[in-house]
Chain A
Amino acid sequence: MAQWNKQRSEREVRLAVAAKYADGKVVLAGNVVAFLSSVVCTGDRVCLEGDNQKQADFLADALASVDKAQIHDLHIVQSGVVLQSHIDLFEKGIARKLDFSYSGPQGHAIARALDSGKIELGAVHTYIELFARYFMDLTPNVALIAAVQADRAGNLYTGPNTEDTPTIVEATAFKSGIVVAQVNKIVDTLPRVDIPGGMVDFVIEADRPFYVEPLFTRDPASVTEIQILMAMMALKGIYAPYGVRRLNHGIGFPTAAIELILPTYGEQLGLRGKVATHFALNPHPTLIPAIESGWVEQIHSFGSEVGMDSYMQERSDIYFTGHDGTLRSNRLLCQAAGLYACDMFIGSTLQIDLAGNSSTFTSGRIAGFGGAPNMGSDARGRRHPSPAWLMAGREAVDNPTSLARGRKLVVQMIETFGEKMVPNFVEELDSVKMAEQLKLELAPVMIYGDDVSHIVTEEGIANLLLCRNAEEREQAIRGVAGFTPVGLGRNRAAVEALRARGVIRRPEDMGINPLSATRQLLAAHTIEDLVTWSGGLYHPPAKFRNW
């Protein structure tokens, strides 16, 4: 006789065992390790919520403390490998296989663990790609998530950091999995319900608030003149001619520089209201001056940002907020907006090769992708037109017809040299060698060359849409690669010919005087200036307070 409900029965068994640690749905923090040992079983797929921002760190520490004789060979399927406890799971032998998306600070540790065989790597995904697999072949058996508050019925208030939670819970709860939430506080009445209690099995009041990394805070004091020059070129050479209104900005300083010169240089160019009006974007503090100057109409966010909560609460015309007043973020939906409803992705990278392939995997470090490859790719399923999308598409072909599809603008900003005079333009990406060493089937590439439309360096802009063959692409890239070996290896005549066609544009070709690339152009020079712009509503985390 066929069994059609094994997963449901298995769930019932586990819930029955776990019940002895719970009062209804509430588990005491002191019992967490024993409790987890009753709901997690060897071989489970576990999603330990954590991305580039919020972390279920209390549950991560607890999971890393279970007895590996009892629980081992876990398959971790989660957005971010960020905490020491995430690495500990593998080092201790509790977990073996890993499918993830992002690893900022643990990039080196993951590479080491892969090399020593402690981690068996499934794949490195984009966020939206991993979320999609939660509903196909990587559905979690157990989800360990984080929220701000819970009530005793298991309803959750995630506050401004909703992020991945609805997606993880959806996949787990409706496939007979078990959902456990750590919360900062258990209360009688929630400000709003972000996750209905019917999808949550257990809640635990943790001994500390869940950790949030202020990943998107860039101190204006650290923005350099080179980055300002690149920002000026991007605004005048890309935002203006394409009329880019809907976009996503990456995390780096060059895009922070763009945000900070919108109210100054952008205003001089007369671009307010014509570009950069709608964003799929985390709440970047460096965007405050542009918002306050009337540039931005609307922002939807993947997650929140430490210190921005009060500001966003008071700017509900700009941000998505709940009826309680606080931000509602959602990584899956914002990534979908970044893919289908943005005309441009512009962000920094660490390495670019001669075909325009762009990677953040440098020697000995597995950085993960986060959302960049998703937002930084042309959405082939897109069907709605916009001026920017159509213009890019028409540049990419000879004699465009009405059947010519549009193109997303995918702009990579990169200074030609990185730290310690390491050239950022290379003949071969470090990730190719790394893939050989670690026996990965696929060399990690953040953005494939055929998706990149423009490269902006301090030397100029290369418009790859206008290149018609591999040779032209290579020379266009060499032509903005500055004094790196790749740049010095250019064919000068070919580069000048590309410049005559507007494929390469120098600052002087765009009427930009390098002398005007000064910090005077920044609408805010310090974090304190951002606080002032916000009318005191932005509360920067302590590490950014230096006044």
Chain B
Amino acid sequence: MEQFQIHVASARPAPGDRRQATVGVNASGNIEILVERVLPETECLVEVTTAVTGYRTLWQAVIEDFCDRCPTGGLRFAINDGGARPDIVHLRLMQGARLMGGEP
């Protein structure tokens, strides 16, 4: 078990006004993300709790790329990771951001 936070200070504000959303499931090879609109609109915080240790640099790369592609300002992502591959993590983050942007 490993826990860490990745903070992005200059994120583009996330559109929409949804307060909260969840995507995915906490299961082996999968990931559960709780997204909340609780931060100043240019900040983004990702809190990772993962069952697999030793991949922090990879997480950093995935999250930076995600914040590059998606407007995430104002959002806090709490991640429960069951050992998902980076592509699943990326997909779930994108899904979370889209949900907060007002899509069903």
Contacts and interface: CB of A to CB of B under 8 A. Distances in A.
Contact of A417 (B65, B87, B99): B87
Nearest to A515: B98
Contacts of A517: 91
Contact of A513 (B52, B58, B98): B98
Contacts of A513: 98, 103
B86 A226 contact: no
A179 B74 CA distance: 75
Nearest to A518: B95
Interface residues of A, number: 17
B94 A514 contact: yes
A226 B90 CA distance: 10
A406 interface: no
B61 A488 contact: yes
Interface in B27-86: 52, 55, 58, 61-62, 65, 85-86
Contact of B85 (A229, A421, A514): A421
Nearest to B95: A515
B87 A226 contact: yes
Contact of A415 (B61, B65, B87, B103): B87
B88 interface: yes
Contact of A483 (B52, B61, B95): B61
B91 A458 contact: yes
B95 A226 contact: no
Contacts of B52: 421
A263 to B, nearest CB: 23
Interface string A404-421: 000000000001110001
Contact of A515 (B58, B86, B87, B94): B94
Nearest to B59: A483
A394 B2 CA distance: 52
B102 to A, nearest CB: 12
B86 A417 contact: yes
B103 to A, nearest CB: 6
A515 B85 CA distance: 18
Tell me which of B61, B62, B85, B95 has the highest count of chain A C-beta atoms within 10 A of its own C-beta.
B85
A459 interface: yes
Interface in A504-543: 513-515, 517
30 contacts: A225-B91, A226-B87, A226-B88, A226-B91, A415-B85, A415-B87, A416-B86, A416-B87, A417-B85, A417-B87, A421-B55, A421-B85, A457-B87, A458-B90, A458-B91, A459-B87, A482-B90, A483-B58, A483-B61, A483-B86, A483-B87, A483-B90, A488-B61, A513-B98, A513-B103, A514-B91, A514-B95, A515-B99, A515-B103, A517-B91
Interface of A: 225-226, 229, 415-417, 421, 457-459, 482-483, 488, 513-515, 517
Given A458-B87, A483-B86, 18 more contacts: A225-B91, A226-B87, A415-B87, A416-B85, A417-B85, A417-B87, A421-B85, A457-B87, A458-B90, A459-B87, A482-B86, A482-B87, A483-B87, A488-B61, A514-B91, A515-B98, A515-B99, A515-B103
